[in-house]
Amino acid sequence: MSRVNPFVIVGGGLAAGTAVESLRERGYDGPLVVVGDEPERPYIRPPLSKGYLLGKEDRESIYVHPENWYAEHDVDLLLGTTVRALDPKAAEVEVDGGRRIAYAGLLLATGSSPRRLSVPGADFDNVLYLRRVGDSERLKAAFTEGARIVVIGGGWIGLETAAAARTAGADVTVLEHSELPLLKVLGREAAQVFAGLHQEHGVRLHPHAEIERITGSGGRADGVLLADGTRLPADAVVVGVGITPNVRLAQDAGLEVRNGIVTDERLRTSLPGIHAAGDVANAFHPRLGRHLRVEHWANALHQPRTAAASMLGQDEVYDRLPYFYTDQYDLGMEYTGHTEPGGYDRVVVRGSTDERRFLAFWMSGGRVLAGMSVNVWDVIDSIRALVESGAELDDAALADPDVPLADLLP
């Protein structure tokens, strides 16, 4: 196969790296161009809040491919380059300096950006976010023995950075808007497990926190003032209050945008020749019967494979269940499936939440909508199979550790 114009991938993360690999594996031998606004070649983001942040992984380990892989596979990397505009009618992208690149196919893997805090003092130098490798390195430098770290936000990024800071010996406070960290995401039963984990490791959890402002002088924060008058001293403030999909290019070009770039199950956008994958894609999920935008590593790894097939005219749909994982202190967790607040009846637990070694199943009627394993390994494939089966299951059998999960499958 040969094309005059290249396939162009916009983005520099795991989705971009996986997309070019998949295109080559599927036999595409035409020109490939990756345009990324960071100076780094495509890299994987989870280590930035896990192993790399903790100093357990070196810098080379974060990259999708070795440096010479792109030259060996005839992939043109335009790094440190921003795409300024898309022209779907001309099938071109415009980059820095007004240069225009014609494309035979376009994949938008533009990812997302951290939501910024909008209170006085939020622009101080040591108010830190985590999205890029440089952010992780700034956090690592701030997380020192005795440093006072205030984390705003009790989601996955907030808790993982809190764990890293505490492991480094810092004094850590987590400010959470609701009653418990992860309450909206996991429900009370599982949220209490993570709250207890952090409290046992010396993290102070501050529920129902309302941020009044960040105090400081000389361009640096020295504390966080809450609406109730409480002031928390801080040598650095970490903000983890969610992310926003990077949709400006798509929106300006006239693509359908709704909580991300809207695609079908083949990752095709509303305009021909343009696909989207990863954090930015609000893709129709045929198994779940709805559009879904997933902000986790597994989507960035697997969705581009389907997008590559679709770009090549191959018939493939993306119906893989959402998956994510976390490592905090001595706790390892995997989760697969999809639930929303109010979308399930109950949670069935197998094992001991007190010992933090258990499985949890989010149920609707007799069906498993999602499942999570905490410090129990090699079971996530069985959990995924239970979710995918749609089988009507008995709570007692699901909770019984003597009943193999495989025996519950129809």
Q: How confident is the model at residue 359 (pLDDT cuts 50, 70, 90)?
A: very high
pLDDT digits (tens, 9 = 90+) for 156-192: 999 999 999 999 999 999 999 999 999 988 989 899 9
Contact predicate 185/360, CB 8 Å: no
Cα of 215 vs its chain's centroid, Å: 30
Q: Is 76 exposed, middle or buried (0-12, 13-18, 19+ CB in 10 A)?
A: middle
Range scoring the smallest mean pLDDT among 95-104, 254-263, 338-347: 338-347
Q: How confident is the model at residue 392 (pLDDT cuts 50, 70, 90)?
A: very high
Mean pLDDT within 127-155: 97
Residues 6+ apart with CB under 8 A from 199: 205
- 371 pLDDT above the threshold of 70: yes
pLDDT digits (tens, 9 = 90+) for 75-90: 999 999 999 999 999 9
Q: What is the pLDDT of residue 410?
A: 87
Q: How confident is the model at residue 266 (pLDDT cuts 50, 70, 90)?
A: very high
- 110 pLDDT above the threshold of 70: yes
Mean pLDDT within 224-232: 97
Q: Model-level pTM greater than 0.85?
A: yes
Contact predicate 251/271, CB 8 Å: no
pLDDT digits (tens, 9 = 90+) for 269-304: 999 999 999 999 999 999 999 999 999 999 999 999
Q: What is the pLDDT of residue 2?
A: 42
User: What are 181's two structure tokens?
Assistant: 């960290």
Q: What is the pLDDT of residue 3?
A: 52
DSSP 339: -
Q: What is the pLDDT of residue 341?
A: 85
Beta strands in 141-250 (DSSP E): 148-152, 171-175, 204-206, 211-217, 220-226, 231-233, 236-239, 243-245
**Cα separation, 190 vs 195, whole angstroms:** 9
Q: What is the pLDDT of residue 185?
A: 87
Contact predicate 162/150, CB 8 Å: no
The whole-chain average pLDDT of the chain stands at 96
Contact predicate 181/151, CB 8 Å: no
Residue from 212, 208, 127, 220 nearest 175 by CA: 208
Percent of the chain with pLDDT over 90: 97
Q: What is the pLDDT of residue 1?
A: 38
